[in-house]
Structure 1
Amino acid sequence: MIDSIENKLGLSYELQSDLGAVNTAREICQQPDVWRLTYQKILEEKVLISEFLKDAYAFDDLKIILTGAGTSAYIGDILSQSFQQIVGKNTWAFATTDLVTHPQQYFGAEDTLLLVSFARSGNSPESVAVVELAESLCRRVYHLVVTCNEGGELVRVAQEKKSYVVFLPEETNDKALAMTSSFTSMLLTGILVSRIDRLEDCKRQVDRLIKCADIFLLNEVEGLKTVSAMGFDRAVFLGSGPLRGAACESQLKLQELTGGQVICKFDSYLGVRHGPKVVIDNKTLVVFIFSNDRHARNYEVDLVKSVNASGSGLYLVGIGEDSSSDLDLDLYVSLSSDGEVVLEDDFLAIVSVLPAQVMGFYKAIELGLLPDSPSVDGVISRVVKGVNIYPFEI
């Protein structure tokens, strides 16, 4: 594994160690391997997961909430619409940080609820509190927990309820501050769970996903390393549909890994036109994550042309599965080498966050930060601290 990490990121293990970057480097580079393990695990548990979901899906009025804190919450943002379309049940994505403060706005006394909780450590106080709130406020609750940590408090609490817990491979329990392989593996799990009845058909998508990540790590890292050395102090990430959630995760990753020295924003291609576009100046990195949906792509191409016409942005980067782009961009990050467009957009969202992970990794080093722990003053930590949970009075 050490050799492969050195080859993919171009830094010796000794140098990574000196730079405080060993964990982040490993966790970025291992993603194709842990996705393969994740698919295999869900395949092995297909019958058990299906039986659990069958009980919940039997209720016509079932309400599904996808939840998590911070990065884990973005999984629901990416998944909610496709989850609803595939499962055929009303599905929403709400962060635990919202559910805890205003539970009465999300949970009803007559609700039958499937609460799908995503958590790297399972020790965030909000994640645990939401399980108890749902139980106390809803008529009937099913808990599906997707976590990277078997020893988390969320697991202990959920196992006392009507629940099923998916433990992801141990390697996904990232040790670095910024979530990388944990995020993408939990997102993949959510996609596979939504398609649990046709899991074998997902194999082609998963294989393609892994191939795209391998191609990216082989061909595109050096270009992004060069981008990271540029003098930008803000970045804007854009995406449509499920890729808007990928843009959200990308902006957080770059901002986290640079300890807030690079201020980041995200939006949809149409949304950014309605005011937020004003933040793009000559020190702004602009990153376009391109959809494989032909209809959506029309709007994305128009926005690229608009940004170019205005002369905004220090540097324009595009990310797409296709192998070439005729758009006027400074750098196009191709996720394939065959020119084909295969991935559905929720699968594409998984691999589309890798460029931000790599840019954040190198930008942290360029700024003199330790990628494994870039928050010099401890403002952010691997597991949030200092959150008091207060009783909710019905």
Structure 2
Amino acid sequence: MFEMDTDALTKLGAQITTAEIKQQPGLWRGALKIYEENLPAINDFLAKARELGGSRRTRVIFCGAGTSAYVSDTVVPYLRRVGDRDSFEFAAVATTDIVCSPLDYVSPEDPTVMVSFARSGNSPESVASVERVGQVAKDLLYLNITCAPEGKLAQDSKGDPRALTILIPDANDKGFAMTGSYSCMELMAALIFDPATLEQKRAWVEQAASMGEDVVAREDQIKGWVDRDFNRVTYLGSASLSGLARESQLKILELCAGKIATSFDSSMGYRHGPKSFVDPKTLVFVYVNNDPYTRQYDLDILNEIAGDKIALATVAIQQKNGSDFTGESFSFEGGAPLPDAYVALPFVMVAQTVALNSSVKVGNTPDTPSPTGTVNRVVKGVTIHPFEN
């Protein structure tokens, strides 16, 4: 797909999505530049966020719907490990949960920073969740990470002294599926709250971008799995990469319009019933964590499923470091092990490439994959009911 010309891709209904997957390494370098350009404003905002808590930790809730929620699921476990835990308590809370039950997820007593992820910022939940959190939280700041300068999320926060909006406009995917918007928003959140030095962040982003370019160059290897006779796919991972697994299964579910069954779980959690999903027509992909302790559990489930011989293929997506899965794999060679929030970037490109090729295989059009129009790029048909606190 990445080597096809525009006319051929357009005939397949895949030109937009293919280009948007392929361009991500450049987008990540661009997101780093946006981060650096906004550093003074970001540092001022983080200082206010720390002061907001006083003697208490400020609760930072990362919010989105669908893929934007999975951005939160991917970045939050990483930040719980490396972030400023003396000042902040990090949590992932979907906007869809906040809107329908605000008091279950937001407390008036908690000093709160609401981090909103949104590709367009126009979904009803994106707008309503900001209002609901504002109705409940007494001490509140807003950090908006969005890809659409003209979207309601960005526009409505203009002039609000409590809000900082970071825009990543080149990542505003025009295709149905979120690809670059997912990876760039996840990266931006990591850059903002990761206490690592700017020099270290630059090195991590460049390494991730080089690995992403390797995915593009090795598409034929990925297509080799897609060409097999399968009708089910599952993604597994641990810690942050468990959130990534959820996003990965959504991509193939969306782009194939449900024609391929999908599942996801944590590597440890999969044994507790969900493993029943696997049959001889299932592709199992496992993200292998770079943390030496956590990595053992990912390798365990890979070896178990491969040893059971119950799946069509059991594939590790891994950065090789000497303790690796020796069966089928998409392996990245060379370079120091990347932390979760950064290795997630090239890893998700593998899953996006699987989804893109699978969509074409089942006769779908990746750019407009919902033939009935019942699922839309920006969610429709949502009724926001009044809430009184």
Q: TM-score, normalised by structure 2?
A: 0.95
Aligned to 1:67: 63
Tell me if 1:378 matches 2:373: yes
The one-letter code of the counterpart of 1:223 is Q
What SS does structure 2 have at the residue aligned with 1:82?
A: helix
Which secondary structure does the structure 1 equivalent of 2:386 belong to? Answer: coil
Q: Distance in 1 between matches of 2:375 and 2:322?
A: 38
Partners in 2 of 1:256 and 1:323 — Cα distance? 33
- The answer to whether residue 31 in structure 2 is matched with residue 42 in structure 1 is no
2:321, 2:293 → 1: CA distance? 19
- Work out whether residues 46 and 196 of structure 1, in 8 Å CA contact, stay in contact via their aligned partners in 2: no
1:186-335 matches, cutoff 5 A:
186-195=185-194, 198-218=197-217, 220-322=218-320, 327-329=325-327, 331-335=328-332
Q: Secondary structure, in 3 states, of the residue corresponding to 2:13?
A: coil
Instruction: Give the match for residue 180 of structure 2.
Output: 181
What secondary structure does 2:115 align onto?
strand
CA-to-aligned-CA distance 1:217-245 (integer Å, 9 cap, x gap):
11x21011122222211111010111111
Identity level (%): 35
Q: Does the 8 Å contact 2:305/2:314 carry over to 1?
A: no
**How big is each residue's C-alpha offset from its partner over 1:142-196, in whole Å with a ceiling of 9 and x where there is no partner?**
000000000111112223531000011x321000001101100111001001126
The code of the aligned residue for 1:78 comes to T
CA spacing shift, 1:164–1:202, aligned 2, 3 Å? same
The answer to whether the 8 A contact 1:205-1:342 is kept is no
Aligned equivalents of 1:110, 1:293: Cα separation in 2: 36
Per-residue deviation, 1:81: 2.6
Q: What SS class does the counterpart of residue 150 from structure 1 fall into?
A: coil
Q: Deviations over 1:266-322 (max 9, x none)?
A: 111110011111110011110011111111111122212211221111112211122
Q: Is the 8 Å Cα contact of residues 69 and 96 (structure 1) preserved in structure 2?
A: yes
Deviations 1:307-345 (A, max 9, x none): 12211111122111228886353x311233x2x442111
**Aligned residue type for 1:164:** L
Change beyond 3 A, Cα 1:84–1:327 = closer
Counterpart AA for 1:47: P
Q: What are the equivalent positions in structure 2 for 1:345-356 lying under 5 Å apart?
A: 345-356=340-351
Q: Is 2:102 the counterpart of 1:78?
A: no
Gaps in structure 1 of 5+ consecutive residues:
1-5
- DSSP 3-state at the match of 1:353: helix
Match status 1:166 vs 2:169: no
d(CA) in 2 for partners of 1:24 and 1:70?
A: 18
Cα distance, 1:347 vs structure 2? 0.9
**Cα distance in 1 for residues equivalent to 2:323 and 2:116:** 38
Structure 1 SS opposite 2:197: helix
Matches of 1:324 and 1:258 in 2, distance apart? 36
- Kindly indicate whether the alpha-carbon contact (under 8 Å) linking 2:212 and 2:345 is maintained by their aligned counterparts in 1: no
Partner of 2:12: 19
**Contact 1:286 1:317 survives alignment (8 Å):** yes
The aligned residue for residue 3 of structure 1 is: none
- Give SS of 1:87's match: coil
**Does structure 1 residue 87 correspond to structure 2 residue 84?**
yes
- Give the alignment's TM-score, normalised by structure 1: 0.93
Task: Please show how residues 1-12 of structure 1 align to structure 2 within 5 Å.
Answer: 9-12=2-5
Alpha-carbon distance in 2 for matches of 1:196, 1:128: 30
The change in CA–CA distance for 1:326 and 1:200 in structure 2 (over 3 A counts) is: closer
How many angstroms does 1:64 deviate by?
A: 0.8
Q: Which of 48, 55, 59 matches 1:55?
A: 48
What is the identity, as a one-letter code, of the residue corresponding to 2:381? G
Measure, in 1, the Cα distance between the counterparts of 2:277 and 2:314: 14
Structure 1 contact 292–344 (Cα < 8 Å) conserved: yes
- For residues 324 and 26 of structure 1, the distance between their equivalents in structure 2, rounded to whole angstroms, comes to 34
Opposite residue 244 of structure 2, the aligned amino acid is: A
Match of 2:387 among 366, 380, 392: 392
Aligned residue pairs total 382
8 Å CA contact 2:302, 2:316 repeated in 1: no
Q: CA-atom RMSD, angstroms?
A: 1.6
2:60–2:89 Cα contact (<8 Å) kept: yes
CA distance in 1: counterparts of 2:282 and 2:145, whole angstroms: 36
What SS class does the counterpart of residue 261 from structure 1 fall into? Answer: coil
Which residue identity does 2:142 align to in structure 1? H
Distance (whole Å) between structure 1 residues aligned to residue 80 and residue 40 of structure 2: 21
Residue 53 of structure 1 and its aligned partner are, at CA, apart by 1.5
User: Could you tell me which amino acid in structure 2 is paired with residue 305 of structure 1?
Assistant: N
Structure 2: distance between partners of 1:144 and 1:326 = 39
Name stretches of at least 5 consecutive residues in structure 2 with no aligned partner.
none
Per-residue CA distance 1:330-376 (angstroms, 9 max, x = gap)? x311233x2x4421112111221111111111111111111101111
CA distance in 1, matches of 2:18, 2:37: 29
